Structures are given as structure tokens and as C-alpha cells.
């Protein structure tokens, strides 16, 4: 099962609003195999803004963090098709355009899950289900992905 990470997972892993969510985010990125995780390019742009504007990082340090994440996981590019589909999603489901871009890119890349706390937990579109990894009870698809990791040799 392929999955995509949203900005909040990376931001928490970087220590923004540190606390319990940071530990959850770090646990996820440690446990989930790199081969099944992808990052929509939109996530990297949003992360840069969060690190600079919210966390007060220098632009150089934020850029270095982006490069580290880019080197860790494949990046899903935003094509014209993904952008137009995102506009349709934003219109039909009243999503923010940036969230719609992330969801559209995840679908185009064949992801089954999008780990995000910004969208409705359980929302499914284009073969992608949104799962909030910080919810009190994890979505069954996320539990399944983590269980498969435990069983892998």
C-alpha cells in the first residue's frame, strides 16, 4: 500500500508545536518503509512556509529540511492535470485549493492513504482515504499499513 504524507506530519516531526504529536510523527516516519511513502511537492512548499513563518527558522535551515525530506521519499510533482483536478475538488467538495492539490497528487500517484490532520478523517476520493494519524483511534487502513511493517522480515 502506497501512502502520502501531509505537511503537518513533517512539521511535527521537525518539532513545530512539539509534544505528543512530534513523537507520533517521528514514530510514523521511522516505522513506515520509504518504499511506500511519497510526498506531494505542495507539502514541501507548505513545510518551508511553516518552518520559516511559524517556527522562526532561517530560510537556509528550512531549505535544508526540505532537501532532507526530498532525499528521504519520492516527490509527487504537480502537473497541469493534478492542478485542474484539484480545482474541481475544491469546487465540488469545498476543500482549500492547497489541500485539494495534495489529495489530487496523492491520487494521481496511486496512493491509498493520505496521512493528514487537516482534512476529514475517513474522507475518500480518487482511491485515496484521508487518515488522521493523530486521532485518538487510528484509521483501520493506517493500522493495517503499520501491522504489515511489523510482519515484514
Mean pLDDT per 10-residue interval, the chain, length 153 residues: 96 92 95 94 98 97 98 96 97 96 98 96 97 94 85 50
What is the residue extent of each domain of the chain? 3-151
Q: Which residues of 10-46 are buried (b: 16+ CB within 10 A; e: fewer)?
A: bbbbbebeeeebbeebeebbeebeeebbbbbbbbbeb
What pLDDT is attached to residue 18?
72
What pLDDT is attached to residue 98?
95
What pLDDT is attached to residue 151?
53
Architecture of domain 3-151: 3-Layer(aba) Sandwich (3.40)
What pLDDT is attached to residue 153?
47
Amino acid at each position: 500500500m502506497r501512502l502520502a504524507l501531509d505537511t503537518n506530519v513533517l512539521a511535527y516531526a521537525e518539532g513545530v508545536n512539539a509534544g505528543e504529536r512530534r513523537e507520533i510523527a517521528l514514530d510514523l516516519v521511522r516505522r513506515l518503509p520509504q518504499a511506500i511513502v511519497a510526498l506531494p511537492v505542495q507539502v514541501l512548499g507548505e513545510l518551508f512556509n511553516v518552518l520559516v513563518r511559524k517556527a522562526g527558522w532561517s530560510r537556509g535551515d528550512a531549505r535544508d529540511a526540505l532537501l532532507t525530506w526530498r532525499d528521504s521519499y519520492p516527490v509527487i510533482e504537480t502537473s497541469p492535470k493534478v492542478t485542474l483536478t484539484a480545482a474541481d475538488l475544491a469546487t465540488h467538495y469545498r476543500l482549500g485549493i492547497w489541500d485539494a492539490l495534495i489529495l489530487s497528487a496523492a491520487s494521481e500517484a496511486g496512493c491509498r492513504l493520505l496521512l493528514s490532520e487537516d482534512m476529514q478523517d475517513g474522507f475518500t476520493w480518487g482511491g485515496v482515504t484521508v487518515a488522521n494519524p493523530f486521532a485518538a483511534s487510528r484509521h483501520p487502513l493506517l493500522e493495517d499499513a503499520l501491522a504489515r511493517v511489523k510482519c515484514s522480515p
